[in-house]
Chain A
Amino acid sequence: MKTRVFITLKPGVLDPQGKAIHHALEGLGFSGVNDVRAGKLIELDLADGTSDGEIEDMCRRLLANTVIENFRIERMENA
């Protein structure tokens, strides 16, 4: 079963990459971009029956650094 984990910087944590992307978008002439935050998407192919708790454990122990990052788990039901 495919599961997606989205990892984003916590609000308030400076995101230099997001800032650079923002500047680049402005440089290309895109006005009206208020803010950009960059994150990561990790796709996991998991054995059936893997519990939400186990996935959260994976996030806390490795996939995200919870000092600076939040994570969100999205199960892809039809994948």
Chain B
Amino acid sequence: MKSAVIVFPGSNCDRDLAVALELVTGRKPAMVWHKDSELPEGTDFIGVPGGFSYGDYLRSGAMAARSPIMRAVKDAAARGVPVIGICNGFQVLTEAGMLPGALMRNARLSFVCKPVKLRVENSQSLFTSQYEAGETITVPVAHHDGNYQADPETLDRLEAEGRVALRYLEECNGSARDIAGILNNEGNVLGLMPHPERVVEAAHGGTDGRRLFEGLLETVAA
């Protein structure tokens, strides 16, 4: 698997994601700077990491979504390359129009930083194939703007089409219908607020995030 991790000014989970990807795939991802306009030849997986790109100016993810590299990310996604957006990466993907809805300030205004229980709602996606449908996993969150909102029609469509990949099992940030992660229409773009890259080995206190990367490896390598 030839993965790429996008790095914006203010990204701070780019290294964590790279370490997780290398651990699972055995290969270091290319770290691609936001001002680049092309991804390395043959990139077959793209990670948009967490952090505070551009200091969250204007809206979280708004500036990053308009940076030069995002055009290449959109083109790759349109060709079917899997793209994951974690935390700020999720915000970037919604701002870029690659996923529906928006991530607003947490309902209680406070930054939430804790492990949360999630239910895997869709175990058929190329990101979640190693989980059981309905399985409970524990993955940490750390965000201020994770309150997922979309109009009721969009939410109904996401539910009906099995595009709600992950749901919070406890109150977290006020997200509509407790949505923690969603897929795009084609199923090759996943955005989620929790950080699977932070729970990939026993020393992290949990390994529930590891199967996401293992599932990807299996799908992409196949």
- Residues of A at under 8 Å CB distance from B? 13-14, 16-17, 20, 61-63, 65, 67-68
Contacts and interface: CB of A to CB of B under 8 A. Distances in A.
Interface of B: 58-59, 62, 66, 94-95, 100-102, 104-109, 147, 149-151, 174
Given A16-B108, A17-B109, 15 more contacts: A14-B149, A16-B105, A16-B106, A16-B109, A17-B105, A20-B109, A62-B62, A62-B66, A63-B58, A65-B95, A65-B102, A67-B94, A67-B100, A67-B102, A68-B102
Contacts of A20: 109
29 contacts: A13-B104, A14-B104, A14-B107, A14-B147, A14-B174, A16-B104, A16-B105, A16-B108, A16-B109, A16-B147, A17-B105, A17-B109, A61-B66, A62-B58, A62-B62, A62-B66, A63-B58, A65-B59, A65-B62, A65-B95, A65-B102, A67-B94, A67-B100, A67-B101, A67-B149, A67-B150, A67-B151, A68-B104, A68-B149
B149 A13 contact: yes
Contacts of A14: 104, 107, 147, 149, 174
The residue among A13, A62, A63 with the most chain B CB atoms within 10 A of its own CB is A62
A17 to B, nearest CB: 6
B197 to A, nearest CB: 26
B174 A16 contact: yes
A13 B106 CA distance: 13
Nearest to A42: B58
